[in-house]
Structure 1
Amino acid sequence: MYSSDASDGYPKKPGASAPPQPPVEGIPVQPMNQSYANYGAPNNPVPPAGLHARPINNVPWSSGLFSCFDDIPTCCLSCWCPCITFGRIAEIADHGSVSCPVHGAIYTVIALLTGCACCYSCIFRTKMRQQYQLQEDPCNDCLVHCCCECCALTQEYRELQRRGFDMSIGYHMNMERQNRGIPMAPVPPGGMMR
Protein backbone atom coordinates (compact mmCIF):
# COMPACT_ATOMS: atom_id res chain seq x y z
CA MET A 1 0.00 0.00 0.00
CA TYR A 2 2.81 2.44 0.81
CA SER A 3 5.79 2.89 -1.46
CA SER A 4 9.23 2.97 0.06
CA ASP A 5 11.88 5.52 -0.83
CA ALA A 6 15.42 4.25 -0.45
CA SER A 7 16.76 7.66 0.51
CA ASP A 8 15.16 7.88 3.96
CA GLY A 9 13.88 4.35 4.59
CA TYR A 10 10.39 5.47 5.65
CA PRO A 11 7.26 4.42 3.74
CA LYS A 12 5.46 7.16 1.79
CA LYS A 13 1.72 7.63 1.44
CA PRO A 14 0.50 7.34 -2.14
CA GLY A 15 0.09 10.78 -3.76
CA ALA A 16 2.03 12.58 -0.99
CA SER A 17 4.45 15.21 -2.22
CA ALA A 18 8.01 15.55 -1.05
CA PRO A 19 8.66 18.14 1.70
CA PRO A 20 9.86 21.51 0.38
CA GLN A 21 13.60 21.95 0.20
CA PRO A 22 15.16 24.79 2.23
CA PRO A 23 16.28 27.80 0.17
CA VAL A 24 19.84 27.66 -1.11
CA GLU A 25 22.11 30.40 0.23
CA GLY A 26 25.68 31.42 -0.40
CA ILE A 27 27.97 31.39 -3.40
CA PRO A 28 27.56 28.51 -5.84
CA VAL A 29 30.55 26.25 -6.04
CA GLN A 30 31.65 25.51 -9.56
CA PRO A 31 33.70 22.44 -10.31
CA MET A 32 37.24 22.91 -11.54
CA ASN A 33 37.12 22.87 -15.29
CA GLN A 34 39.37 23.62 -18.20
CA SER A 35 38.70 27.39 -18.15
CA TYR A 36 40.02 27.63 -14.56
CA ALA A 37 43.01 25.47 -15.34
CA ASN A 38 44.03 27.74 -18.22
CA TYR A 39 43.34 31.03 -16.40
CA GLY A 40 46.20 33.42 -17.03
CA ALA A 41 47.39 31.66 -20.16
CA PRO A 42 48.04 33.95 -23.15
CA ASN A 43 44.89 32.73 -24.91
CA ASN A 44 42.71 33.01 -21.76
CA PRO A 45 43.65 36.29 -19.96
CA VAL A 46 40.15 36.98 -18.57
CA PRO A 47 39.15 35.19 -15.34
CA PRO A 48 36.00 33.06 -15.47
CA ALA A 49 32.78 34.54 -14.10
CA GLY A 50 32.70 34.57 -10.32
CA LEU A 51 36.49 34.56 -9.89
CA HIS A 52 37.52 37.95 -8.59
CA ALA A 53 40.66 39.04 -6.81
CA ARG A 54 40.26 41.04 -3.60
CA PRO A 55 41.34 44.66 -3.95
CA ILE A 56 44.72 45.38 -2.48
CA ASN A 57 44.81 48.28 -0.06
CA ASN A 58 47.65 50.17 -1.66
CA VAL A 59 46.35 53.70 -2.25
CA PRO A 60 48.52 56.16 -0.30
CA TRP A 61 46.94 58.66 2.08
CA SER A 62 46.69 62.18 0.65
CA SER A 63 48.72 63.48 3.60
CA GLY A 64 51.03 62.04 6.19
CA LEU A 65 50.10 61.08 9.73
CA PHE A 66 52.32 63.82 11.17
CA SER A 67 51.24 66.54 8.72
CA CYS A 68 48.91 67.92 11.38
CA PHE A 69 50.24 71.45 11.14
CA ASP A 70 49.41 71.68 7.44
CA ASP A 71 45.81 72.20 8.60
CA ILE A 72 45.90 74.16 11.87
CA PRO A 73 42.10 74.55 12.34
CA THR A 74 41.50 70.78 12.03
CA CYS A 75 44.50 70.07 14.26
CA CYS A 76 43.10 72.37 16.97
CA LEU A 77 39.62 70.86 16.65
CA SER A 78 41.10 67.35 17.00
CA CYS A 79 43.16 68.34 20.05
CA TRP A 80 40.50 70.26 21.96
CA CYS A 81 37.27 68.57 20.78
CA PRO A 82 38.16 65.17 19.35
CA CYS A 83 34.54 64.06 19.77
CA ILE A 84 33.47 66.53 17.04
CA THR A 85 36.22 65.49 14.63
CA PHE A 86 35.54 61.83 15.29
CA GLY A 87 31.75 62.23 14.97
CA ARG A 88 32.11 63.83 11.55
CA ILE A 89 34.54 61.16 10.33
CA ALA A 90 32.39 58.31 11.66
CA GLU A 91 29.21 59.67 10.08
CA ILE A 92 30.87 59.72 6.64
CA ALA A 93 32.51 56.30 7.17
CA ASP A 94 29.12 54.85 8.23
CA HIS A 95 27.38 56.38 5.20
CA GLY A 96 25.12 58.40 7.47
CA SER A 97 23.50 55.44 9.22
CA VAL A 98 24.36 57.04 12.58
CA SER A 99 24.61 60.80 12.98
CA CYS A 100 27.65 62.83 13.99
CA PRO A 101 26.24 63.83 17.43
CA VAL A 102 25.52 60.19 18.34
CA HIS A 103 29.03 59.05 17.35
CA GLY A 104 30.52 62.03 19.20
CA ALA A 105 28.49 61.24 22.33
CA ILE A 106 29.55 57.58 22.30
CA TYR A 107 33.18 58.66 21.86
CA THR A 108 32.89 61.08 24.80
CA VAL A 109 31.26 58.54 27.12
CA ILE A 110 33.94 55.94 26.31
CA ALA A 111 36.67 58.54 26.85
CA LEU A 112 35.23 59.62 30.22
CA LEU A 113 34.58 56.10 31.52
CA THR A 114 37.68 54.29 30.27
CA GLY A 115 40.06 56.86 28.85
CA CYS A 116 40.41 54.62 25.78
CA ALA A 117 38.20 56.17 23.12
CA CYS A 118 40.93 55.21 20.67
CA CYS A 119 39.61 51.63 20.79
CA TYR A 120 36.34 52.91 19.31
CA SER A 121 37.85 55.38 16.83
CA CYS A 122 40.28 52.87 15.31
CA ILE A 123 37.29 50.85 14.05
CA PHE A 124 36.28 53.74 11.82
CA ARG A 125 39.82 54.25 10.54
CA THR A 126 39.72 50.63 9.38
CA LYS A 127 36.29 51.15 7.75
CA MET A 128 37.54 54.24 5.98
CA ARG A 129 40.71 52.51 4.79
CA GLN A 130 38.68 49.63 3.36
CA GLN A 131 36.24 51.95 1.59
CA TYR A 132 38.99 53.93 -0.12
CA GLN A 133 41.55 51.08 -0.30
CA LEU A 134 44.08 53.11 1.69
CA GLN A 135 47.34 51.72 2.97
CA GLU A 136 47.65 50.65 6.58
CA ASP A 137 50.37 53.20 7.16
CA PRO A 138 52.59 53.70 9.16
CA CYS A 139 51.37 50.74 11.26
CA ASN A 140 48.24 48.94 12.49
CA ASP A 141 45.12 51.12 12.85
CA CYS A 142 44.79 50.40 16.58
CA LEU A 143 48.39 51.39 17.23
CA VAL A 144 48.01 54.58 15.20
CA HIS A 145 44.99 55.63 17.28
CA CYS A 146 46.44 54.50 20.62
CA CYS A 147 49.73 56.33 20.11
CA CYS A 148 48.64 59.35 18.05
CA GLU A 149 44.87 59.84 18.43
CA CYS A 150 44.92 63.54 17.54
CA CYS A 151 47.17 63.03 14.49
CA ALA A 152 45.10 60.06 13.28
CA LEU A 153 41.82 61.97 13.52
CA THR A 154 43.34 64.96 11.75
CA GLN A 155 44.70 62.76 8.95
CA GLU A 156 41.35 61.01 8.43
CA TYR A 157 39.48 64.34 8.47
CA ARG A 158 41.86 65.82 5.86
CA GLU A 159 41.55 62.68 3.70
CA LEU A 160 37.78 62.98 3.56
CA GLN A 161 37.99 66.72 2.85
CA ARG A 162 40.38 66.12 -0.03
CA ARG A 163 38.01 63.51 -1.40
CA GLY A 164 35.42 66.27 -1.71
CA PHE A 165 33.39 65.93 1.49
CA ASP A 166 32.29 69.09 3.27
CA MET A 167 32.75 67.75 6.78
CA SER A 168 30.53 70.34 8.45
CA ILE A 169 27.32 69.34 6.61
CA GLY A 170 27.29 65.57 7.19
CA TYR A 171 26.94 62.57 4.91
CA HIS A 172 23.37 63.05 3.69
CA MET A 173 23.86 66.69 2.71
CA ASN A 174 27.07 65.74 0.88
CA MET A 175 25.17 63.08 -1.08
CA GLU A 176 22.39 65.56 -1.85
CA ARG A 177 24.96 68.05 -3.16
CA GLN A 178 26.48 65.34 -5.32
CA ASN A 179 23.05 64.29 -6.65
CA ARG A 180 22.28 67.91 -7.59
CA GLY A 181 25.31 67.87 -9.84
CA ILE A 182 27.83 69.60 -7.63
CA PRO A 183 30.82 67.33 -8.16
CA MET A 184 33.01 66.17 -5.34
CA ALA A 185 36.64 67.13 -5.80
CA PRO A 186 38.65 64.15 -7.05
CA VAL A 187 41.91 63.13 -5.45
CA PRO A 188 44.79 63.09 -7.94
CA PRO A 189 46.44 59.69 -8.48
CA GLY A 190 49.16 59.11 -5.92
CA GLY A 191 47.60 61.50 -3.41
CA MET A 192 48.13 65.20 -2.94
CA MET A 193 51.60 66.51 -3.53
CA ARG A 194 53.04 69.88 -2.61
Structure 2
Amino acid sequence: MSDIKNGIHHQEQPGAPPAYSAPITTQPGFSQPAAFHSSNTTVVVQAPQAPQTVPTRPKQRTWSTDIFGCFSDMTSCIAVTLCPHFYLFYLSQKLGESCLLPLAMPDCTALVPLRTKIRAENNITGSICEDCCMVCLCSCCVMCQLSREQDYITMNNQQNSSKL
Protein backbone atom coordinates (compact mmCIF):
# COMPACT_ATOMS: atom_id res chain seq x y z
CA MET A 1 0.00 0.00 0.00
CA SER A 2 1.42 3.39 -0.84
CA ASP A 3 0.51 6.82 0.40
CA ILE A 4 1.49 10.28 -0.82
CA LYS A 5 1.93 13.00 1.82
CA ASN A 6 3.39 16.42 1.11
CA GLY A 7 4.54 15.25 -2.29
CA ILE A 8 6.67 12.42 -0.86
CA HIS A 9 5.87 8.86 -1.73
CA HIS A 10 5.67 6.66 1.41
CA GLN A 11 5.30 2.95 1.32
CA GLU A 12 3.84 1.19 4.33
CA GLN A 13 4.89 -2.34 4.96
CA PRO A 14 2.97 -4.75 7.14
CA GLY A 15 4.30 -4.85 10.74
CA ALA A 16 6.47 -1.74 10.22
CA PRO A 17 6.08 1.22 12.61
CA PRO A 18 4.23 4.23 11.25
CA ALA A 19 6.33 6.70 9.25
CA TYR A 20 5.93 9.43 11.91
CA SER A 21 4.99 9.20 15.54
CA ALA A 22 4.74 11.78 18.29
CA PRO A 23 7.77 11.98 20.69
CA ILE A 24 7.56 9.97 23.88
CA THR A 25 7.15 12.32 26.86
CA THR A 26 6.62 9.79 29.63
CA GLN A 27 8.27 6.59 30.65
CA PRO A 28 6.56 3.61 28.98
CA GLY A 29 4.14 1.89 31.35
CA PHE A 30 3.95 4.92 33.65
CA SER A 31 1.17 7.43 33.50
CA GLN A 32 1.21 10.71 35.38
CA PRO A 33 -1.81 11.73 37.43
CA ALA A 34 -3.84 14.54 35.96
CA ALA A 35 -3.03 16.84 38.89
CA PHE A 36 0.75 16.29 38.58
CA HIS A 37 2.75 19.51 38.54
CA SER A 38 6.45 19.70 37.87
CA SER A 39 8.57 21.95 40.05
CA ASN A 40 12.18 23.09 39.71
CA THR A 41 12.71 23.59 43.45
CA THR A 42 15.87 22.01 44.88
CA VAL A 43 16.42 21.60 48.61
CA VAL A 44 20.00 21.21 49.81
CA VAL A 45 20.57 20.12 53.38
CA GLN A 46 24.05 20.59 54.80
CA ALA A 47 25.15 19.74 58.30
CA PRO A 48 27.00 22.49 60.15
CA GLN A 49 30.75 22.05 60.01
CA ALA A 50 33.35 22.94 62.56
CA PRO A 51 35.48 25.91 61.56
CA GLN A 52 38.52 24.75 59.69
CA THR A 53 41.93 26.09 60.48
CA VAL A 54 44.34 26.76 57.67
CA PRO A 55 47.59 24.91 58.28
CA THR A 56 50.46 27.29 58.63
CA ARG A 57 53.94 26.50 57.50
CA PRO A 58 56.60 26.60 60.21
CA LYS A 59 58.96 29.51 60.10
CA GLN A 60 61.95 28.90 57.89
CA ARG A 61 65.33 28.57 59.50
CA THR A 62 68.89 28.84 58.32
CA TRP A 63 71.44 26.05 58.02
CA SER A 64 72.81 24.95 61.40
CA THR A 65 76.36 25.72 60.19
CA ASP A 66 77.76 27.90 57.45
CA ILE A 67 78.96 26.46 54.14
CA PHE A 68 82.55 27.14 55.19
CA GLY A 69 82.12 25.77 58.73
CA CYS A 70 84.35 22.79 57.99
CA PHE A 71 86.53 23.32 61.05
CA SER A 72 83.60 22.52 63.35
CA ASP A 73 83.75 18.93 62.02
CA MET A 74 87.31 18.00 61.14
CA THR A 75 86.49 14.31 60.63
CA SER A 76 84.18 15.05 57.69
CA CYS A 77 86.57 17.70 56.38
CA ILE A 78 89.50 15.26 56.25
CA ALA A 79 87.40 12.40 54.82
CA VAL A 80 85.97 14.62 52.06
CA THR A 81 89.42 16.02 51.24
CA LEU A 82 91.05 12.58 50.97
CA CYS A 83 88.19 10.55 49.38
CA PRO A 84 85.44 12.84 48.03
CA HIS A 85 83.82 10.23 45.76
CA PHE A 86 83.66 7.56 48.46
CA TYR A 87 82.37 10.11 50.95
CA LEU A 88 79.57 10.98 48.53
CA PHE A 89 78.43 7.31 48.56
CA TYR A 90 78.46 7.40 52.37
CA LEU A 91 76.66 10.77 52.50
CA SER A 92 73.90 9.62 50.15
CA GLN A 93 73.15 6.68 52.42
CA LYS A 94 73.41 8.86 55.55
CA LEU A 95 70.75 11.19 54.10
CA GLY A 96 68.34 8.31 53.45
CA GLU A 97 69.00 7.84 49.74
CA SER A 98 70.61 4.98 47.86
CA CYS A 99 74.36 4.87 48.20
CA LEU A 100 74.36 4.33 44.43
CA LEU A 101 72.88 7.79 43.71
CA PRO A 102 76.31 9.25 42.81
CA LEU A 103 76.68 6.60 40.09
CA ALA A 104 73.47 7.79 38.44
CA MET A 105 74.64 11.40 38.22
CA PRO A 106 77.97 12.64 36.82
CA ASP A 107 80.61 14.24 39.03
CA CYS A 108 79.14 15.82 42.17
CA THR A 109 75.77 16.75 40.67
CA ALA A 110 74.17 14.24 43.06
CA LEU A 111 74.76 16.87 45.74
CA VAL A 112 72.11 19.18 44.25
CA PRO A 113 69.13 16.88 44.94
CA LEU A 114 70.60 15.85 48.30
CA ARG A 115 70.99 19.48 49.41
CA THR A 116 67.54 20.37 48.08
CA LYS A 117 66.00 17.39 49.89
CA ILE A 118 67.54 18.32 53.26
CA ARG A 119 66.59 21.98 52.78
CA ALA A 120 62.98 21.22 51.83
CA GLU A 121 62.37 18.55 54.50
CA ASN A 122 63.71 20.76 57.27
CA ASN A 123 62.27 24.09 56.12
CA ILE A 124 65.66 25.72 55.56
CA THR A 125 65.75 28.97 53.59
CA GLY A 126 67.15 28.87 50.08
CA SER A 127 66.37 27.80 46.53
CA ILE A 128 67.35 25.16 44.03
CA CYS A 129 69.37 27.81 42.19
CA GLU A 130 71.29 28.51 45.39
CA ASP A 131 71.83 24.77 45.86
CA CYS A 132 73.31 24.50 42.36
CA CYS A 133 75.57 27.51 42.91
CA MET A 134 76.88 26.14 46.21
CA VAL A 135 77.63 22.75 44.66
CA CYS A 136 79.51 24.43 41.79
CA LEU A 137 81.35 26.77 44.18
CA CYS A 138 82.68 24.11 46.52
CA SER A 139 81.23 20.63 46.40
CA CYS A 140 83.53 19.45 49.21
CA CYS A 141 82.19 22.17 51.52
CA VAL A 142 78.62 21.20 50.59
CA MET A 143 79.31 17.56 51.50
CA CYS A 144 80.65 18.62 54.90
CA GLN A 145 77.72 20.97 55.48
CA LEU A 146 75.18 18.25 54.61
CA SER A 147 76.86 15.81 56.97
CA ARG A 148 76.84 18.37 59.80
CA GLU A 149 73.20 19.28 59.07
CA GLN A 150 72.12 15.63 59.20
CA ASP A 151 73.96 15.21 62.51
CA TYR A 152 72.22 18.35 63.84
CA ILE A 153 68.78 17.07 62.73
CA THR A 154 69.38 13.62 64.24
CA MET A 155 70.57 15.16 67.51
CA ASN A 156 67.51 17.46 67.73
CA ASN A 157 65.11 14.61 66.95
CA GLN A 158 66.66 12.49 69.71
CA GLN A 159 66.41 15.39 72.20
CA ASN A 160 62.79 16.08 71.25
CA SER A 161 61.80 12.41 71.58
CA SER A 162 63.47 12.13 75.01
CA LYS A 163 61.41 15.12 76.26
CA LEU A 164 58.20 13.28 75.44
Q: What TM-score results when the alignment is normalised by the length of structure 2?
A: 0.55
User: What is residue 136 of structure 2 aligned with on the other side?
Assistant: 146
Percent identity of equivalent pairs: 25
2:82 paired with 1:80? yes
- Per the alignment, do residues 80 and 66 of structure 1 end up closer, same or farther by CA in structure 2, a change over 3 Å counting? same
User: What is residue 105 of structure 1 aligned with on the other side?
Assistant: 103
> Pick from 60, 63, 68: which aligns with 1:61?
63
User: What is residue 91 of structure 1 aligned with on the other side?
Assistant: 93
Q: Distance in 2 between matches of 1:53 and 1:3?
A: 58
Q: Distance in 2 between matches of 1:78 and 1:3?
A: 83
The one-letter code sitting in structure 1 at the alignment partner of 2:151 is Q
User: What is residue 125 of structure 1 aligned with on the other side?
Assistant: 115
User: What is residue 40 of structure 1 aligned with on the other side?
Assistant: none
Deviation at 1:78, TM superposition (A): 1.6
The one-letter code sitting in structure 2 at the alignment partner of 1:99 is S
Deviation at 1:123, TM superposition (A): 1.3
1:130 is paired with a residue of what secondary structure? helix
Q: Which contiguous aligned blocks of 4+ residues in structure 1 show a shift greater than 6 angstroms? A: none
- Per the alignment, do residues 77 and 128 of structure 1 end up closer, same or farther by CA in structure 2, a change over 3 Å counting? same
Q: Distance in 1 between matches of 2:53 and 2:154?
A: 33
- Give the unaligned 5+ runs of structure 1: 5-34, 36-47, 112-116, 166-182, 187-194
Deviation at 1:92, TM superposition (A): 4.2
Could you tell me whether the CA contact under 8 Å between 1:84 and 1:104 is conserved in 2? Answer: no
Number of equivalences: 115
Deviation at 1:53, TM superposition (A): 3.4
The one-letter code sitting in structure 1 at the alignment partner of 2:52 is A
Determine which structure has more spread, i.e. the larger CA radius of gyration. 2
Deviation at 1:103, TM superposition (A): 2.2
Q: What TM-score results when the alignment is normalised by the length of structure 1?
A: 0.47
Could you tell me whether the CA contact under 8 Å between 2:70 and 2:77 is conserved in 1? Answer: yes
- Give the unaligned 5+ runs of structure 2: 1-22, 26-48
> Pick from 124, 131, 135: which aligns with 1:134?
124
1:130-154 CA distances to partner (integer Å, 9 max, x unpaired)? 11111229x8111011101111110
Q: Distance in 2 between matches of 1:149 and 1:185?
A: 30
